[in-house]
Chains A and B, each alone.
Chain A
Amino acid sequence: MNKVVIRSGQPVYKQVRLSQPGTVLVRTGQEVKVGDVLAEAVIPQEFQVFDVINHLRIPPNRLEQHLKRLNGEVVRKGDVIAQKPGLITRIFRASQDGKIVSLREGRVTLAMGEQKLQVRAPIAGTVVELIPGFGAVIGLTGNLIQGVWSNGHNASGSFFHLEFDFTDPQQRGRLPDLQDKIVYSGAIITPDRFRLLMVKKPAGIVLPSLVPGLIQEALNSSIAVINLNGFGDQEIDPVSSKLLDTMQDQEVFVLSEGSGQSAELIMPGEGGQSVALFDEEVTLKVGSLVRLLGEPYLGSTGKVLELPQRAERFASALKAYVAVVERTDGTLIRVPVTNLLLLDVNFKD
């Protein structure tokens, strides 16, 4: 069952890990701030392979007498590694500080420089778990809205609900200052409007939905974009809307699971671990709040009134298990259970 969490005072856990083994630099219980390095791996910056036999024109059986360094030795920039004396002396020197990592078949491989791969905390919180060799899990409590799609960027900033009438010619060119803010707009964002927003250099943009024509542009953007409901022209649901209201002018974070993946909008809150940590898993049942995923009700919400145990046939002639849903406007509809997104909420509209 598809599900999104829209909750206040929700424990949030964010796993941060290196793509390759390294050293974890934090400990359990440690408070971390945004940008703190949690783990790092050190790898050579570059390599150089030098074919001593061919480049210095040395007979293979006399290779050893021309090599000046051994495998594993640390070298400094300019150090002679191989040398062929003669009328014109041929020399192979280290071009940077480094280490000989291989010496085989007449080829010398140098690992040079140092490159640190680091992972940093995308949000402030407490380290609740270490992932040995790779990173840590940061825990915090806050108001959380999960979005179904993002462009892969994380961001933080002051939350700003932009109530701007893009259709009003009087307001043209009068977009407020959005720099470094996480901006939410409930208006339909066309490509032109998207570009107008981008010019204002916000830290991130939160939208109820994204028109398909904007997907590529959003993916190419360096500004974080999170889409709460999906694609098309969908309105924000009342529960998310109310929770967004609590975020106005507060510092919020957009944490993405990756390009084209889901993301979370988080406003860190007060207090420690909530009792919600021990809540049972939320499943679809009578009374559940749901979002509708298909036309003609795309994006609208309702409450499950009934979950019949028999599959029913739809206009498409396909059979599916259904839920009877009362929409917010009072209409009753029968929808395939697969076409519902369960809203895990604790915040009543």
Chain B
Amino acid sequence: MPKTYLSLDIGKSQTQAWLFAQRDGTWALQGTASVPTAIEGDGTQFHHNIQQLLGQIQQRHEVRLLDDHGQITNIRRLEGAPAAIGMSLSAGKPIRTALIGLSEAYSIAPLRRLVSLFNCEVVLEVNLQENLNATTQLERLLKSDVELYVIGGGANGGAQKALKAAIENLRLVYHLIPRAVRPQIVYCGNQDLAEYAQSEIEAGLDMHLASNLQTNPGQEDQTLVWKAMLAAFERLRIQQIPGLADIVSDLRTRVIPSDFSAGRMVHFLERSSEKGKGVLLVRIEPGTVSVISARDQVLNGICHQLEMNESVLEIARGLSSQVTDPTSFATYIYNRNLFPDFTPATLEDLGIEHAWARVRIREALKALQQLDPGFGYSPDLGLTRAYEPIILSGPELHLAAPHQGLMIALDGILPHGITTVLQDEQQLLTALGNLAPHDPLLPVQVMDEEVFTNLATVINVDTPASEGQKVLQIEVNEGEQMPRLYHKIQTGELKRIETMANSKTELYLAPADESDVGMGMPGLGGWVTVLDSKVGVVVDARGRPLSLPANEIERAETLHNWLWELGG
């Protein structure tokens, strides 16, 4: 039997498994399977579904995951079992989190960035500089029904009084109010108070100490706190999801947040890239959009749930390639929310679906910009900083053909310059992120096999030129045997150029004087070599912000024409 690793992801609607095997020293994906996620109830259904999932993998592949009676058992006792199992989880309500810090800029904002990769919803922020009296602070802590407290702030050796008072209040909160789920406490502030916090709060295994998140004034290193956050996450989820503890114990694994797991790989891709650009992952799931960015070796992410209201629905309706009246549009979206597995069967349904995805992506990017001011997104101008590749992922993208998925991403993200858009169709980033600590070679070798679908190379033209003016000329070299092709691009145009199958295509970009194609300055062009991709090279000269007709019929027609240009 070959050496194998198994990765499991308990997603919001589906629980997925991936089996990787090593043959001749090289790791490759062997197979996947999925079952519906069932975390409600007493754990019986959850256990049953995981068992069914393992059974599917065992039946189809050379690996042992269940005992002779088809039951989940201690995996170490099984001959032929995977060498290790990784597990991630995005199912379940976000963790209600309180952030306690000494100042907005130096502790609360970094804490927000820290917790956002761990499926947390910040329900309370206590800024100790606001000088709340101790009674008010205690009342706030008690009334917020918090599951995770994260305390940061203070330079090592710095002032202690306010932090000490907050620690004392936390001790009371932890011990005075009985809870169904024991809250977890992560301490990542002034290290002089770490031991004091531990002995004062007396929370045993519910207390997680980490190094100071703030390494120097104004500088943070989230990686120092990840271990503590992971431990707190696991302890909370094990209490909240009946049956999870047994699964984790039998499979000899740990459970980590899905976004964190995917973030590991995004972080890895950025570090191993030689382009000097960031790497961006956009994962569209039922109800949420996760955006994870790695730039300058810093990882940030957010899992964003868009609140539905009339205004946001109207914005989305304006981005549909079909003309739909407001009531029908809203009806579809609200019903879709009730039944997340719904398949858009008609063109109108699909138009609504894709328009809604565009808005969800925009709002998620906006939320990440608020969290990380250096991210580089503006609602009007789009993603102004350079990210390559941009990776699209998530089950919702299965509701779009490649050119439709690309169109959703282009309109949602509005990138600048030249970038590559990939699709992680099998959600491998999460799968690999779960296993990376077990064998760092595994993700490297699996990703070397071009497991991501290359959707397109996108060339965006930033130009002040008015509609209809020529802004870019492109010469296409498909090889010495082929005639050179020339394309003229005008402002407002979206153009698709097909790439050569299984081969490289060279393009010479000659922008007009004031047009910027991301080569360093306006007017500067040059040769670009692109790989074969599903959609091809997409030249986007539509401008930022997108200029759409006010008339809704003309607007839908414009959107439809753009989609048609990319493939129908």
B145 at the A interface (CB under 8 A): yes
B335 at the A interface (CB under 8 A): yes
Residues of A308-349 whose CB lies within 8 A of B: 314-318, 320, 335-336, 338-339, 341
B498 at the A interface (CB under 8 A): no
Q: Say whether A339 contacts B134, CB under 8 Å.
A: no
Which of chain B's residues have a CB closer than 8 A to the CB of A60?
Answer: none
Which of chain B's residues have a CB closer than 8 A to the CB of A231?
Answer: 330-331, 334-335, 338
Which of chain A's residues have a CB closer than 8 A to the CB of B145?
Answer: 19
Cα(A148)–Cα(B172), bound, Å: 41
**Shortest CB distance B230–A (Å):** 26
Q: Say whether B342 contacts A293, CB under 8 Å.
A: yes
Which residue on A lies nearest to B165, using beta carbons?
A107
Given A48-B135, A102-B168, A295-B328, the answer on whether A336 and B177 have CB atoms closer than 8 Å is no
Q: Say whether A316 contacts B330, CB under 8 Å.
A: no
Q: Say whether B168 contacts A107, CB under 8 Å.
A: yes
Which residue of A22, A43, A148, A338 contacts B343 across the interface (Cβ within 8 Å)?
A338
Contact with A along B150-180 (1 / 0, CB 8 A): 0000000000000011001101100011111
Which of chain B's residues have a CB closer than 8 A to the CB of A51?
Answer: 134
Q: Say whether B176 contacts A44, CB under 8 Å.
A: yes
Which of chain A's residues have a CB closer than 8 A to the CB of B342?
Answer: 293-294, 338-339
Q: Say whether B172 contacts A102, CB under 8 Å.
A: yes
Q: Say whether B344 contacts A318, CB under 8 Å.
A: yes
Q: Say whether A338 contacts B341, CB under 8 Å.
A: yes
A253 at the B interface (CB under 8 A): no
Which residue of B327, B348, B401 contacts A212 across the interface (Cβ within 8 Å)?
B327
Q: Say whether B345 contacts A294, CB under 8 Å.
A: yes
Contact with B along A20-64 (1 / 0, CB 8 A): 111000000000000000000101101111010000000000000
Interface of B is mostly: helix
Which of chain A's residues have a CB closer than 8 A to the CB of B176?
Answer: 43-44, 101, 111
Q: Say whether A232 contacts B178, CB under 8 Å.
A: no
Cα(A179)–Cα(B310), bound, Å: 32
Which of chain B's residues have a CB closer than 8 A to the CB of A18?
Answer: 180
Which residue of A21, A211, A216, A317 contacts B178 across the interface (Cβ within 8 Å)?
A21
Which of chain B's residues have a CB closer than 8 A to the CB of A298?
Answer: 331, 335
A92 at the B interface (CB under 8 A): no
Which residue of B139, B309, B334, B339 contacts A47 across the interface (Cβ within 8 Å)?
B139
A174 at the B interface (CB under 8 A): no
B241 at the A interface (CB under 8 A): no
Q: Say whether A230 contacts B334, CB under 8 Å.
A: yes
Q: Say whether B180 contacts A19, CB under 8 Å.
A: yes
A215 at the B interface (CB under 8 A): yes
A159 at the B interface (CB under 8 A): no
Q: Say whether A49 contacts B339, CB under 8 Å.
A: no
**Shortest CB distance B534–A (Å):** 15
B245 at the A interface (CB under 8 A): no
Given A47-B139, A232-B331, the answer on whether A320 and B343 have CB atoms closer than 8 Å is yes
A250 at the B interface (CB under 8 A): no
Q: How large is the interface on A (under 10, 10 to 19, 20 to 34, 35 or more residues)?
A: 35 or more
**Shortest CB distance B323–A (Å):** 14
Which of chain B's residues have a CB closer than 8 A to the CB of A232?
Answer: 327-328, 331, 335
A192 at the B interface (CB under 8 A): no
B347 at the A interface (CB under 8 A): yes
A273 at the B interface (CB under 8 A): no
Q: Say whether B135 contacts A47, CB under 8 Å.
A: yes
Q: Say whether B331 contacts A212, CB under 8 Å.
A: yes
A283 at the B interface (CB under 8 A): no
Given A41-B178, A49-B134, the answer on whether A339 and B343 have CB atoms closer than 8 Å is yes
Cα(A102)–Cα(B346), bound, Å: 65
Q: Say whether B135 contacts A102, CB under 8 Å.
A: no
A160 at the B interface (CB under 8 A): no
Contact with B along A103-130 (1 / 0, CB 8 A): 0110101010000000000000000000
Which of chain A's residues have a CB closer than 8 A to the CB of B164?
Answer: 105
Q: Say whether A315 contacts B346, CB under 8 Å.
A: yes
A213 at the B interface (CB under 8 A): yes
Cα(A331)–Cα(B235), bound, Å: 54
Which residue on B lies nearest to A46, using beta carbons?
B139
Which residue of B171, B309, B339 contacts A2 across the interface (Cβ within 8 Å)?
B339
Q: Say whether B168 contacts A104, CB under 8 Å.
A: yes
Contact with B along A127-158 (1 / 0, CB 8 A): 00000001000000000000011000000000
Q: How large is the interface on B (under 10, 10 to 19, 20 to 34, 35 or more residues)?
A: 35 or more
Q: Say whether B168 contacts A212, CB under 8 Å.
A: no
Cα(A21)–Cα(B169), bound, Å: 21
Which of chain B's residues have a CB closer than 8 A to the CB of A149?
Answer: 338
Given A49-B133, A49-B138, the answer on whether A294 and B168 have CB atoms closer than 8 Å is no
Which of chain A's residues have a CB closer than 8 A to the CB of B165?
Answer: 105, 107
Which of chain B's residues have a CB closer than 8 A to the CB of A315?
Answer: 345-347
Cα(A320)–Cα(B349), bound, Å: 15
B436 at the A interface (CB under 8 A): no
**Shortest CB distance A301–B (Å):** 16
**Shortest CB distance A265–B (Å):** 17
B109 at the A interface (CB under 8 A): no
B350 at the A interface (CB under 8 A): yes
Residues of A277-296 whose CB lies within 8 A of B: 293-296
Which residue on A lies nearest to B310, using beta carbons?
A213
Which of chain B's residues have a CB closer than 8 A to the CB of A230?
Answer: 334-335, 338-339
Which residue on B lies nearest to A148, using beta carbons?
B338
**Shortest CB distance B253–A (Å):** 29
Cα(A318)–Cα(B133), bound, Å: 59
Cα(A202)–Cα(B341), bound, Å: 35
B226 at the A interface (CB under 8 A): no
Which residue of B139, B178, B339, B345 contacts A320 across the interface (Cβ within 8 Å)?
B345
Which of chain A's residues have a CB closer than 8 A to the CB of B401?
Answer: 317
B508 at the A interface (CB under 8 A): no
Q: Say whether B172 contacts A101, CB under 8 Å.
A: yes
B444 at the A interface (CB under 8 A): no
B399 at the A interface (CB under 8 A): yes
Q: Say whether B349 contacts A316, CB under 8 Å.
A: yes
Q: Say whether B345 contacts A47, CB under 8 Å.
A: no
Residues of B385-409 whose CB lies within 8 A of A: 399, 401
**Shortest CB distance B36–A (Å):** 9
Which of chain B's residues have a CB closer than 8 A to the CB of A22?
Answer: 178
**Shortest CB distance A116–B (Å):** 14
Given A49-B133, A211-B327, A336-B343, the answer on whether A318 and B180 have CB atoms closer than 8 Å is no
B236 at the A interface (CB under 8 A): no
Q: Say whether A20 contacts B180, CB under 8 Å.
A: yes
Which of chain A's residues have a CB closer than 8 A to the CB of B451?
Answer: none
Which of chain A's residues have a CB closer than 8 A to the CB of B168?
Answer: 102, 104-105, 107, 109
**Shortest CB distance B178–A (Å):** 4
User: What are 30 contact pairs spanning A and B, CB under 8 A?
Assistant: A43-B176, A43-B177, A43-B178, A48-B135, A49-B133, A49-B135, A102-B172, A104-B168, A105-B168, A107-B134, A107-B168, A111-B176, A148-B338, A211-B331, A212-B327, A212-B334, A213-B310, A213-B327, A216-B309, A230-B334, A232-B328, A293-B335, A298-B331, A316-B347, A316-B350, A318-B350, A318-B399, A336-B343, A338-B341, A341-B339
Additional A-B contact list (9), CB under 8 Å, known A105-B165, A231-B331: A46-B139, A47-B135, A102-B171, A232-B327, A318-B343, A335-B345, A338-B339, A338-B342, A339-B343
Q: Nearest 9 pairs between A and B by C-beta? A: A49-B134, A212-B330, A232-B331, A316-B350, A336-B343, A231-B334, A314-B345, A21-B178, A338-B341
